Amino acid sequence: MSNFMDIPTPPWTLQNYVHLLDVLVSREIRTVTIQEYDCGGEGVWLRHDVEVDLHAAVAMARVEAERGVRAHYFICAASPLVAGQERLSRTVADELRSLGHVVGVHVLLEPFATFDERLARDRVLVGVDVDGDASIHAPGVHAAFLAKIESARRVYRRLVSGGPYYSDSTGSWRRSDPADLLVSGTPGAQLLTHPYWWSKGIDTSPHHATGDLEIKQFMPQLYSRISND
């Protein structure tokens, strides 16, 4: 059995994520659907925002499926690292669904497009159901507003009300690492991970210099944090 106190810290690898999954499975912590999560079901809802590397999402989905774990993947068709790969996005979405996962869109808000316009376009690009759920890139102070939008409501409503939330956004654990989730199976928790951070052992620690200009431009909040630490 995995040591549940051994919470992976960056830089992460896919094997680190496998460790987290093995802990969940060994401790019989149930992974729930977004419907169960929204209704207050016990267990953990696994959410993945896919903004950088579609192949990393497939690798993560496969190790989950091997362990009977179901997750929810949100693909960001407007990300500069995904845009223009519509065929690949749809192929990946089909494979994720074939592995038993759910696919939605991760919306990148734009100054000159309404949320509904961006959502509609992204759903076409990824090839997902028009009634599917959506997450938002860097929702920040808009989370309370988004919790009132039907397509995003189930993702954000419980977060706004203070529900347990663990996230690896910007390449490090935010708020807290999921130790208490793994120890006690915190009921009704959301665990957000981004496949890219867990794919290549990327060092996101303070003062680490990275040469990936596109990621710097797309995730300025990460590099702002690094430069200010």
* Domain ranges, ordered by start, for the chain: 14-202
Q: What does the pLDDT look like over 24-67, one tens digit per residue? A: 888 888 899 999 998 887 889 999 999 888 999 999 999 999 99
Token pair belonging to 200: 């290549």
Identify whether the C-beta of residue 125 lies closer than 8 Å to the C-beta of residue 77: yes
**Using 50, 70 and 90 to split pLDDT, how confident is the model at 216?**
low
Predicted confidence at residue 228, as pLDDT, reads 35
Write the CA distances from 67 to 20, 22, 43, 207, integer angstroms.
11, 8, 16, 36
> Distance between CA atoms of 210 and 212, rounded to whole angstroms?
6
Among candidate residues 132, 157, 171, the one with its CA nearest the CA of residue 9: 171
Side-chain half-sphere CA neighbours of 109 within 13 A: 13
Regarding the domain delimited by 14-202, which CATH topology (the fold level of the hierarchy) does it fall under?
A: TIM Barrel (3.20.20)
Predicted confidence at residue 129, as pLDDT, reads 76
